[in-house]
Amino acid sequence: MITKSDIDKGHAFYTPFTLKLYNFIVPVFNNHFVWRCPTYYQLREYRRYVTPLHLDIGVGTGFFLKRTPWPADTQLSLMDLNPACLEAAARSVNWLKPTIYLADIFEVQPHLANKFTSISMNYLLHCLPGNMTVKKQAISNAASMLRSGGVLFGSTILSDPELQNFLSRRVMSYFNKKQCFSNLEDTHAMLKQALEENLSQVEIQIIGCVALFKGIKK
């Protein structure tokens, strides 16, 4: 059972100040040296799967949004529980005039049912509280916003022991103590099961200790 306070710990870290540092610390440093998954791989998947009717959930600074060549007819939507993240991400793609949803991915969004043809969730799942059984609700809520045949894709940091080295184990343990991560029970097998319960054609690539995943709405 997770509480509102657990959920809030997953986004409280992101303030206008930490967001200024984020684009250096996470994509440049942590992805290469700590998680051993150069940002290039996430960006490649982002560019591969976005469609003109796209929703990004857990937007951060809008790092990938800003670096994606969007089609001229794009209708972009952004969803996050943290207003500072929504503001920063919307600013990064202001020419697209994105639609903003201040919302918790643990809440069902009936007004957005079957609306999007692609949804991204990069580095969201490892910030959410609870184990993969709890996080499955977030995956299911995201899938419910996809049209049939639409794609859900993203990335998350896993804790399988064989994917870790000394540095990733130490940094992950620190972030879990600070409660900005909650992924000590997130494994490849559990992620696969959670995705397959909601999507078809699930594919997961593991690079370093990062899972890059994709699945299609049944």
The footprint of ligand SAM (CB under 6 A) covers 7, 10-11, 14, 58-60, 63, 80-82, 85, 104-106, 122-124, 127-128
Coil, strand or helix at 57: strand
Residue 83 or residue 200: which is nearer to ligand SAM going by CB? 83
CA distance linking residue 5 with residue 56, whole number of Å: 23
User: CA-CA distance, 206 to 157, in Å (whole number)?
Assistant: 10
Q: Which is nearer to ligand SAM, 19 or 149 (CB)?
A: 19
Nearer to ligand SAM, 28 or 113 (CB): 28
User: What does the alpha-carbon distance between residue 159 and residue 186 come to, in Å, rounded to a whole number?
Assistant: 6
Q: Tell the smallest beta-carbon distance from residue 148 to ligand SAM (Å).
A: 24
Task: Give least dist CB 131 to ligand SAM, A.
Answer: 15
Contact 188, 204 (CB under 8 A): yes
Least distance (Å) between residue 137 CB and ligand SAM: 10
- Minimum separation from the CB atom of position 123 to ligand SAM (A): 4
Return the residue nearest ligand SAM (CB atom): 60
User: At its nearest, how many Å lie between ligand SAM and the CB of residue 88?
Assistant: 9
- b/e 184-216 (16+ beta carbons within 10 angstroms → b): eebbbebbbebbeebbeebebebbbbbbbbbbb
- Taken in order 176, 26, 136, 113, the sign of the CA dihedral is positive
Strand order across the 210-217 sheet: 99-102, 75-80, 53-57, 116-122, 146-157, 210-217, 199-207
Q: How far is the CB of 126 from ligand SAM (least distance, A)?
A: 8
Cβ proximity to ligand SAM, 102 vs 167, nearer residue: 102
As a whole number of Å, the end-to-end CA separation of the chain is 28
**Identity of the residue, 53 or 59, whose beta carbon is nearer to ligand SAM in the bound complex:** 59
**Closer residue to ligand SAM, CB minimum distance, 35 or 187:** 35
